[in-house]
Structures are given as structure tokens and as C-alpha cells.
Chains A and B, each alone.
Chain A
Amino acid sequence: MGSFDLSNAPIQRFAGVLVVTPPPDLTGDDWLSLRRAMLERYRSEASKQVVVDLGRVDLIDTEACEQLRRMARSVRVLGGKCALAAVQAAVASALVDLEVDLEGVEAFLSTEEAIDALGGRRG
């Protein structure tokens, strides 16, 4: 297993939207744990929308892309929407180089913009 502490998963709720903030240097197992933690929170809360804030992630490989894709697909199957935010240049480059198809997941410059786009209730 990786070094990621599932009990302290970086998942918070803002304006009715679940915001997942992966820390840097996650292992493949960590990404898997994070996806499972997100799904648990998703089921236990009324949130329908999820934003994955990639602002702290500066490298993403096939394993991480796979978990991101499954995260988005799970949310969609459960009737919600998932968006990416704050994608760094190196991550965008990796997604292109690896030719990863994130199946229509939209990307936004910031978490706030993503929350607004997903219809989060602010204020």
C-alpha cells in the first residue's frame, strides 16, 4: 500500500459540491484509496457534483489517469457530474502524451469556476 492516509482524505464540501484535492506524489494505490474515499463521501452526502482540484499534482501517469477516469465514471453512473480544476501544464501535457480519454470530463481554471459551472450553491 502507499503512504496515503485514507482517514484523512483531502475531500471537502463547498457550496454543495465535493472537492477532492489530491496531494502531490501519490502512488497508484493512493489514487485507488482516494477514489474509494471519494465514493464513500459521495454516497453519504447529498452532493451530486464532484470537482477534482489538481493544483497540487505536477505529474500524472497512466495509473492515476485510470483512477481519475473511474472516479468520473462512477459519479456519472450515480447521476452526478465530475470536473477537473487547476490542471497544471505538465499534467495537461501528460494527458495529451498518454492520449488519455477522460470521457468528456470538463476542465476549469480554478475550483471556484468549476463549482460555479457545476451549479454549486455559493454564499
Chain B
Amino acid sequence: MTAVLRVEIAGGETVPRAVLGAQEWALAQGLSEVDSHRVALVVSELATNQVKYARGRGEVILRRCERGRECIEIEALDRGPGIADVGWALAEHTSTGGSLGLGLPGVKRLMDELHIETSPEGTRVTARKWWP
């Protein structure tokens, strides 16, 4: 399987296919079943955010990377209105009794690096996991 997987998100019904594709891709790269599930979970969180907050559309790209050591990179791009408050989006909301939020705290925990670039023209979330 190719070292890059590019998945277009166009509505909620495309998310399960993206998640399954991510899991198969991760397994094909040699990740364990547990780590492949984690990659799929991160894709699910990021793609769901695009559906809910970026007018239902976006793109998720998975690739092998090299940043001084081998890694897996998951990049989510959209042309939505951007995240108004990144600090809030990254904060835990599980104990407030309200919504669990954007799922980004979970992504942060599951990956080793998380970068968010956001503006009214769109958002790019880049998450990296060092090769186990």
C-alpha cells in the first residue's frame, strides 16, 4: 500500500470509510493493531470535526514522515471558518457535564505532536506519532 493516503471528507457518511481506510493503511505500514486503531480514532476525530465545524468538507492525509526519527503524520485540512479559540478547543471538557468538545484533547493524548494553524479561511491540524 502507498506510503500516503489521501481521503476526502464530504459529509458524515464519508467518515466511516475514511476511518476504515486509515486503519487498513496503518496496518499496511506495519503498525500494531492497537496503534492502527489509534490512528483510525484520530482520523475519526479530525474528520468528524470537519463535518461538524467546517461546512462538512475537508481532507485528511496520512503519510510516513521523518523528523529526526521515523513518524506517522496525520494532516487534516479544511476551508471552514476556523477555530475561534484554540486554547478552549484543546482544553478538557469531560467534567463539565456538557459536550465532550472537539475531541482534540483526545487527539493530543493519542499522538506525540499536535499543531493547529487556523484562520477564518480554514484550519490545518497536523498530528504526529513517533514510530513505535
Which residues from chain A sit less than 8 Å from chain B, CB to CB? 1-3, 25-30, 58-59, 61-63, 65-66, 69, 90, 93-94, 97-101
Is the contact region of chain B dominated by helix, strand, or loop, or is it mixed?
helix
B15-44 CB contacts (< 8 Å) to partner A: 15-16, 19-20, 23, 33-34, 37-38, 40-41, 44
Q: How far is the CA of A100 from the CA of B103 in the complex (A)?
A: 10
11 contacts between A and B (CB under 8 A): A25-B20, A28-B12, A59-B41, A61-B41, A62-B102, A62-B106, A66-B99, A90-B37, A98-B103, A99-B92, A100-B94
B12 contacts A29, CB within 8 Å? Answer: yes
Q: How far is the CA of A69 from the CA of B93 in the complex (A)?
A: 14
A2 contacts B12, CB within 8 Å? Answer: yes
Q: Is B59 an interface residue (CB 8 A)?
A: no
Q: Which residues of A contact B103 (CB under 8 A)?
A: 61-63, 98
Q: Which residues of A contact B62 (CB under 8 A)?
A: none
B45 contacts A94, CB within 8 Å? Answer: no
A100 contacts B100, CB within 8 Å? Answer: yes
A65 contacts B100, CB within 8 Å? Answer: yes
B16 contacts A26, CB within 8 Å? Answer: yes
A98 contacts B106, CB within 8 Å? Answer: yes
